Chains A and B, each alone.
Chain A
Amino acid sequence: MDTVNSCTASDRVNTPILNQEQLTVIRNLDLSCGDELVNKILQVFLETSVDLTRQIEDAINNEDAESLRHAAHTLKSSAANVGAESISVIAQKLELCGKSGEFGQVGQLLDNLQQRYQKVITEIKQILKQS
């Protein structure tokens, strides 16, 4: 309960949907090609994160702890890499639920994730469209 509350509390904090600093870091990794790398990373995130969120949903529906843990673990890492820190934080909590097999709070976390996720992909699509 506490974990979920603190999670939602942090969600309410006015954090940006995508951390622009992280995108700058990525941009700096390959200055020669402008936004190409950022766009490529955001594109693959779009493609893979859809599967991952679906896997998380399925794992929760099936109460498959191991699948939940693994999918959440991967999403945690990917989201962090594109600066979607809120998603990464929620994924980390889901990963812990998967690890412990505690499914009590997962519904709430999944709702939060889906809300956040929609915002993130909207933002990403916006960025990709602009470039």
Chain B
Amino acid sequence: MSADAFKVLLADDDITVRYLMQAALEQAGLSVTLACDGEEAIRMFDASPHDMVMLDVEMPRKNGYEVCSYLRKKIGNELPIIMVTGMDDVQSVDHAFDVGATDFISKPINWSLIRYRILYLKRAYLNLLDLKLANARGRAIFSAIPDAMFILDNGGVVVDTLNLSEKTFSLKVKLGNSLSHTLPTNIFQIYLNALQKARLKKTVEHFEYQLKPDELNTLHFESRIVTINTQETLCLVRDITNRVDSENKIFHLAYFDVLTGLPNRQSFMERLEQEIARAQYINNRFAMLYLDLDGFKGINDAIGHNTGDLILKSAASRLKNTTHSLDFSPYDAKPHGQLSQPAADIARIGGDEFTIVMPNLQRAEDALIMAHRIRQVMQQPFHLGDRDVVLTASIGIAFYPDDGEDAETLLKHADTAMYHAKDEGRNNCQFYSSTFTHQAEKRLNLENGLRNALLQNQFFLVYQPQMDIATGKFLSVEALIRWQHPAQGFISPLDFIPLAEENGLIIPIGEWALRTACAEAMEWLKKGFNIRVSVNLSPLQFKNPDLVKSVMGILSETGFPPSNLVLEVTESALMDYNAEILNTINTLRSHNIEISLDDFGTGYSSMNYLMHLPINNIKVDKSFVDGMLDDGKSLAIIRSIISLSKNLNFTVTAEGIELLEQANVLKKLGCDYLQGYYFSKPVRSGEITDFLRKQHPIETVQILRNTS
């Protein structure tokens, strides 16, 4: 017999049974030990434990029941103990069951079959041992796993708890309770969904969720769901709060600068790449500023790194404040106090080096304005205890895609521009590309010039006479603005009006023009020249809710009669007309101020608004007059405009008349007023009265009269 043979202890006082049983069981490969009474059986078992015990019920010195009870107490429930009872001795069978026997065999024993009976029992016992081992292994695994483990039924009720560690105590999983008792509804629903999915797809479902046990804390959990059978599902839940916290910390360390809290170089480069992808997609330009504090290293060495760190922190916070409150257009209609979208993304990419990305760049010079603003903010003294430190900044500016189409190049070129700024004597801002430098400087100069022009009275008005065909006299003029720059000389309105529209200066400039026109025309009136004056209004002025107030104020201030004032607006100002604009026009009309539609036919001419707006006059754009003699289409358009105007009861003014022939055709088509170099160039206010006195060359009038 090998050492690990299955050992059976047989106790019977009948020696024939002992011998026969030994023979029968050894034939089945079992190892048999024999005892002739109860006490010997106990002694033998205590000396060497057996895998199975067979006990005759009736034995001297402790019967089978007593031995069975003893062994059960000693060894537990698994050991198979088989009682050998008399045939039909129901009482013994019953008693054997009560004392914990595993099975019984009745005498007389069928010796041919007994070994099979024992082999069956042996196999059942080994299976039981395997199960016990599997359970023990399972428990060992459960106890080694930090997860909470429990079993849910299909409705989410906890039907068993396998492992509930202290770490997952906050889950409050309780046997017999539905998870819905302790989890928020949405998370309970996630569990139910995962349960169904795991069952349908036969997969391990995995999900994460958060619980907030109180205001301050957030706990993170990771849950795995796997189907056991049609009724039960195993849930493993792990508290991953520490891991998530660490990950967040690592992320912050990896992406943010500890000193200033700003994104670091790594983070910046990723942000820059994203911005490049975005700008490429929407075909946009953006600016990248590279800032270096002049002489910071020297200061750092001189007054210590702690102080240097304080300066860097202050500089970072100045940068944040400057860029976040950025509002480029001084006349922008953005309400005050409202924190606008961050106009820029700041990062600290090195010791005293900061970068700023300006994604929503309207104009190249906005980057320069921003850079100058930052430069000015940086040169304010840093108050460090009882010491004030003054630093300046050099800023380089590069544009995507002009100066680089990838992050590395863009950064390098912004850096180059920054060094250029240093070379230029520090405390200044430079573009990488000289083209931008020139353009931006020019526009910035123009913008600064515009502001000064108003203050320093560099604007003046000229007036172009308009001939009234019906009388053959010049009864009206159009006021046109001119800018005489003290250094640059005459600057065309085509250059400065669009800029003024962009930056909102058009409002004060337009107001100045209206006031000046009314005042000067009032002078003419006093001299006996009752002339109507057309003044151009920009769309921005027209949408200004204060327009009526402003116009009426100027009229009463100058004494100029409202009926002599014509306000010219372009189609674009009226295109998206609404109740407010209609109201503005109606109010102006109620004061007998006339409204003229300028540049008609050049925009999106819509017949619809013509019907609804109480305007008086339509001006045919110069471009149609230019082509009318050579080009049938221009003439057709002019004819249509005039015909349309007559039908809608508007008068028609044609501008840009340079030839007599043009004047004659327009007259024939029914045009009411003519304006152009053929009659007169725009003249200064002082010259108007002389012009009106002389009127115009006699022959022109005669020719016009002959054709009428």
For chain A, residues 23 to 77, give those with C-beta under 8 angstroms from any C-beta of chain B: 25-26, 28-30, 37, 40-41, 44-45, 48, 70, 73-74, 77
Tell me, yes or no, whether A105 is within 8 Å of chain B by CB.
Answer: no
Q: Which residues of B contact A73 (CB under 8 A)?
A: 58, 86
B60 to chain A, nearest CB (A): 8
| Interface residue ranges of A85-123 to B (CB < 8 Å) | 88
Contact A81 B17 (CB under 8 A): yes
Q: Nearest-CB distance from A92 to chain B (Å)?
A: 9
* Distance A78 CA – B58 CA, assembled complex (angstroms): 14
Roughly how many angstroms separate A70 CA and B57 CA in the complex, as a whole number? 12
The CA-CA distance from A48 to B12 in the complex, in Å, is 14
**CB-defined contacts of B13 to chain A, threshold 8 Å:** 74
A110 to chain B minimum Cβ distance, whole angstroms, is: 21
Q: Contact at B20–A70, with CB atoms within 8 Å?
A: no
Taking a contact as CB atoms under 8 Å apart, the answer to whether A30 and B23 are in contact is yes
Determine if A80 is an interface residue (Cβ-Cβ < 8 Å): yes
Least CB distance from A45 to B in Å reads 6
Contacts of B20 in A (CB 8 A): 26, 29, 41, 81
User: For residue A30, which residues in chain B have a CB less than 8 angstroms away from its CB?
Assistant: 23, 26-27
Judged by a CB distance under 8 angstroms, whether A82 is at the interface is yes
Q: Is the CB of A48 within 8 A of B107?
A: no
A81 to B107, CA, bound (A): 10
CB distance from B36 to the nearest CB of A (A): 11
B591 to chain A: closest CB distance in Å?
A: 135
Query: Which residue of A28, A40, A74 contacts B14 across the interface (Cβ within 8 Å)?
Result: A74
Q: Return B90 CB to nearest CB of chain A, in Å.
A: 15
Residue of B14, B15, B58, B86 most packed against chain A (CB within 10 A): B14
B112 touches A28 (CB 8 A): yes
Are A29 and B23 in touch, CB under 8 angstroms? yes
Closest chain B residue, CB of each to CB of A44:
B15
Cα-based distance from A86 to B24 in the complex (angstroms) = 24
Determine whether B19 belongs to the interface, using a CB cutoff of 8 Å to chain A. yes
> Would A81 and B108 count as touching, CB distance under 8 A?
yes
Q: Mark B1-30, 1 if CB is under 8 A from A, else 0.
A: 000000000000111110110011011000
Complex CA distance for A41 and B18, rounded to whole angstroms: 10
Beyond A29-B27, A73-B58, is A41–B111 a contact (Cβ under 8 Å)?
A: no
On chain A, the residues within 8 Å of B16 by CB distance are 41, 44-45, 48, 77-78, 81-82
The reply to whether B112 and A25 contact each other, CB–CB distance below 8 Å, is yes
> Chain A residues near B24 (CB, 8 Å)?
29
From the candidates A25, A45, A48, name the one contacting B111 in the complex (CB within 8 A): A25
Residue of B whose beta carbon sits closest to that of A92: B86
Complexed CA–CA distance, A78 and B111 (Å): 13
B58 touches A70 (CB 8 A): yes
What CA separation (Å) do A22 and B88 show in the bound complex?
Answer: 21
A70 to B111, CA, bound (A): 23
Give chain A residues whose Cβ lies under 8 Å from the Cβ of B108.
77, 80-81, 88
Task: Name B24's closest neighbour in chain A (CB-CB).
Answer: A29
Expressed in whole angstroms, the minimum distance between the Cβ of B181 and any Cβ of chain A is 63
With A and B bound together, what is the CA distance between A10 and B511 in angstroms? 145
> Which residues of chain B are near A41, meaning CB under 8 Å?
16, 19-20
In chain B, what residue has the closest Cβ to A28? Answer: B112
Provide the bound-state CA to CA distance between A71 and B108, in Å.
16
User: How far is the CB of B600 from the nearest CB of chain A, in Å?
Assistant: 127
State how many angstroms separate the Cβ of B142 from the closest Cβ of chain A. 48
| Nearest CB on A from B571, distance (A) | 121
Interchain CA distance A74-B24 in the complex, whole Å: 20
Q: Once bound together, how far apart are the Cα atoms of A80 and B109, in whole Å?
A: 9
Chain A residues with Cβ below 8 Å from B27 are: 29-30
Q: Is the CB of A78 within 8 A of B112?
A: no
Chain B residue nearest to A78 (CB atoms) is B16
Residue interface bits B81-125, CB-to-A below 8 A is 1, else 0: 000001000000000000000000001110110000000000000
A78/B14 in contact, CB under 8 A: yes
Among B15, B17, B109, B112, the most chain A Cβ lie within 10 Å of the Cβ of B15
Given the known interface contacts A25-B111, A77-B14, A80-B107, the answer about A37 and B58 at a Cβ–Cβ threshold of 8 Å is no
A48 to B36 alpha-carbon distance, docked (Å): 13
A77 to B16, CA, bound (A): 9
Across the interface, name the chain A residue whose C-beta is closest to B19: A41
Question: What chain A residues lie within 8 Å of B19 (beta carbons)?
Answer: 37, 40-41, 44
In whole angstroms, what is the CA distance A28 to B14 when docked? 21
Task: Provide the residues of chain A in CB contact with B17, threshold 8 Å.
Answer: 77-78, 81
**Which chain A residues lie closer than 8 Å to B58 at the CB level?**
70, 73
Chain B residues near A77 (CB-CB < 8 A): 14, 16-17, 107-108
Contacts of B86 in A (CB 8 A): 73
| A29 cross-chain contacts in B, Cβ below 8 A | 20, 23-24, 27, 111
Shortest Cβ distance from residue A90 to the other chain B in the assembled complex, whole angstroms: 15
Give the distance to chain A from B126, nearest Cβ to Cβ, in Å.
24
A73 to B27, CA, bound (A): 28
A29 to B27, CA, bound (A): 7
Q: Please give, as numbers and ranges, the residues of chain B lying within 8 Å of A45 by CB-CB distance.
A: 16
Q: Which residues of B contact A37 (CB under 8 A)?
A: 19, 23
Q: Which residues of B contact A (CB under 8 A)?
A: 13-17, 19-20, 23-24, 26-27, 58, 86, 107-109, 111-112
Extra pairs beyond A29-B23, A73-B86, A77-B14 (20, CB < 8 Å): A25-B111, A26-B20, A26-B111, A29-B27, A30-B26, A44-B16, A44-B19, A45-B16, A70-B58, A73-B58, A74-B13, A77-B107, A77-B108, A78-B15, A78-B16, A80-B108, A81-B17, A81-B108, A81-B111, A88-B108
Q: Which 7 A-B pairs have the closest CB atoms?
A: A29-B23, A81-B16, A80-B108, A78-B16, A44-B15, A30-B23, A77-B14
